[in-house]
Chain A
């Protein structure tokens, strides 16, 4: 489990316990265990499962609990254009993750290559002019961190399907406001549409 997930799990536990009581938390945890065989902390990593159980108990009310946690991590900017909504990162670990990726020259080139247009790994490496060994390692690291998302396939001449990847954002803004680093991202429409968590943030 990533540091970010552990952080979200802790925050979610406190939100449920403080607002709905220890008994409610235990009920949710018991149901998660009997349904999926996982604990609360693990369920945060697999947000779909946690969302399912919360909806089993609270119906549409689950959104309120989920939104409270997510507001501590990311904040949606008000925008008239529904397809171009900037997101301000509130969580320092998430900010660090983005800054570290963009601070690495190779990773920055990889992200730039797949911003807007999905590509297969070999094309990414070729366009960004990165050696294969370190290139694969860095692409995998970006996939693990959730910076790159699979987007469609390319069929090779021998019939194999190769996954194409695209950056989750189409623009990033980094600024310093009153001695505080502010990181904003403009997520792609696809990444918002496919993410249950982003759907909740945007709602």
Chain B
């Protein structure tokens, strides 16, 4: 005899409109982790303890690597596609450059060589064109025409940020030195990618892809804040490895990794 079991499973309901929400718990976990890490650094009695430098290098490298691995995973998912495939490969490579630069800087410092300006700076700076390529490739494909007010905002934002820095730093540096131009290059790179990331988030904001792009923009804004803060501290010689500004970089990298995870979930 056949017997029928009554299913109590609710039927799947097709959503009227698909949406993707940001899980704010992830931000909380990142924030709590970073604050705990900062207190751990403060627990070192001697601020010149070489272990602080080592721990800082490991944390920067690992956080940047997490974002790079997430980026390569996404690039592999869209392998051979000309927009997503290449743009995510560029972003992942940019994050890898951050991790590599951190290792080079640490290595040069351990060898007793001047870590900056050095090859490490070039590797760090490579992050900006690679990330800009990622942003510009997507923006150009999805929004070939941008209105004049938006265009003006996107251009003016980095111009103002760079202008303010150039003016303040010029008064501190002894003329147009390598350090002056190097500091300026970081400011230009970070403000340009921040501006482009905000534009990207604006373009996709009505769609589900808007969520990963908003998270990506938050991540890039955090790293840009870190870059700007560092540049100003460097001008006044106030930076140290235990400075809380480092948390902006780590947080930025981890948030970018979360954005990449969200992208995978959405598409």
Residues of A bordering B, CB below 8 Å? 17-24, 27, 31, 34-35, 55-65, 67-68, 203
Contact present for B142 and A57 (CB under 8 Å)? no
Contact status of A61 and B81, CB under 8 A, knowing A24-B267, A35-B14, A56-B18:
no
CB of A120 to closest CB in B, whole Å: 39
A contact residues around B77 at 8 Å (CB): 21, 23
Q: Across chains A and B, which 5 residue pairs bring their CB atoms closest together, nearest first? A: A61-B142, A59-B207, A59-B206, A21-B78, A21-B81
Contact status of A24 and B207, CB under 8 A, knowing A31-B18, A58-B142, A67-B144:
no
A61 to B18, CA, bound (A): 16
Contact present for B143 and A24 (CB under 8 Å)? no
Contact present for A23 and B267 (CB under 8 Å)? yes
Q: Does B83 contact A (CB under 8 A)?
A: yes
A59 to B214, CA, bound (A): 13
CB of A74 to closest CB in B, whole Å: 16
Contact present for B14 and A23 (CB under 8 Å)? no
Contact present for B142 and A56 (CB under 8 Å)? no
Among residues 172 to 221 in chain B, which have CB atoms less than 8 Å away from a CB atom of chain A?
Answer: 202-210
Residue of B nearest to A27 (CB): B267
Among residues 56 to 104 in chain B, which have CB atoms less than 8 Å away from a CB atom of chain A?
Answer: 77-85
Contact present for A20 and B78 (CB under 8 Å)? yes
A59 to B145, CA, bound (A): 15
A19 to B203, CA, bound (A): 18
Encode contact with A along B256-267: 1 for CB under 8 Å, 0 otherwise: 000000000011
Contact present for B207 and A58 (CB under 8 Å)? yes
Show 29 A/B contacts (Cβ-Cβ < 8 Å), sorted by A: A19-B81, A19-B84, A20-B78, A21-B77, A21-B78, A21-B79, A21-B81, A22-B81, A24-B81, A24-B84, A24-B267, A27-B267, A31-B18, A35-B14, A57-B207, A57-B209, A58-B207, A59-B203, A59-B204, A59-B206, A59-B209, A60-B142, A60-B204, A61-B138, A61-B141, A61-B142, A61-B207, A61-B209, A203-B145
Contact present for A17 and B204 (CB under 8 Å)? no
B contact residues around A64 at 8 Å (CB): 141-144
CB of B241 to closest CB in A, whole Å: 41
Contact present for B81 and A18 (CB under 8 Å)? yes
B contact residues around A17 at 8 Å (CB): 81
Residue of A nearest to B18 (CB): A56
CB of A81 to closest CB in B, whole Å: 19
A contact residues around B266 at 8 Å (CB): 57
Residue of A nearest to B204 (CB): A59
Q: Does B17 contact A (CB under 8 A)?
A: yes
A63 to B144, CA, bound (A): 9
Residue of B nearest to A71 (CB): B144
Contact status of A60 and B18, CB under 8 A, knowing A19-B83, A21-B85, A23-B267:
no
CB of B146 to closest CB in A, whole Å: 10
Contact status of A57 and B145, CB under 8 A, knowing A23-B78, A31-B18, A34-B14:
no
A19 to B144, CA, bound (A): 14
A contact residues around B84 at 8 Å (CB): 19-21, 24
